[in-house]
Amino acid sequence: MVNKSASYGHNFTITSALVHATTGFSPFYMTYGVSPILPGDPLRPFMDPLTEEDPELIAEDALTHLRYLRENRFLAEDRLKVQAEKDKEKWDAALKNQTTQVFQVGEYVMLRHEIKEVWNSTGWARTE
């Protein structure tokens, strides 16, 4: 059993903190709206206690944060659509001159045997 990534907290791996090449955001940020705090990261900056206790300032800050998150999610969705179109064009061009392979009944074909790795309570395990 191989432990592929260090795990922090419930259902969180280091890979969810990495910025996705297409969206420009990490999966953790897209889910929770904040970047994760990892061991070794600096602590959050000091805030004035009066600011933290004012409900109007907190609501205004939360609303601004939610608007920014919504904009980033729309931006990520647009980037994913653009990348999907590029991928489709690439694969359509690669398959343009190829014909579909047809097999006759009784012919022998070579099958791939894939080994999958799944996460269980003891770590990464191989299944066949």
Q: How confident is the model over 37-50, as pLDDT tens digits?
A: 777 777 766 666 66
- Whether residue 116 lies inside any domain: the answer is no
pLDDT of residue 88: 93
- Whether residue 69 lies inside any domain: the answer is yes
CA dist 92 and 99 (Å) reads 12
pLDDT of residue 3: 46
Q: Which helix (H) or strand (E) holds 94?
A: helix 55-95
- Whether residue 30 lies inside any domain: the answer is yes
Q: Range of 53's domain?
A: 14-102
pLDDT > 50? residue 1? no
Number of domains the chain is built from: 1
- Whether residue 97 lies inside any domain: the answer is yes
- Whether residue 126 lies inside any domain: the answer is no
pLDDT 10s digits, 47-58: 666 666 777 877
* DSSP state letters, 32-89: HSSPPPPTTPPPPPP--HHHHH-HHHHHHHHHHHHHHHHHHHHHHHHHHHHHHHHHHH
CA dist 90 and 101 (Å) reads 20
- Whether residue 61 lies inside any domain: the answer is yes
67 vs 110 pLDDT, higher one: 67
Contact 28, 35 (CB under 8 A): yes
- Whether residue 7 lies inside any domain: the answer is no
- Whether residue 108 lies inside any domain: the answer is no
Distances (CA, A) of 121 to 3, 10, 11, 60: 11, 12, 11, 42
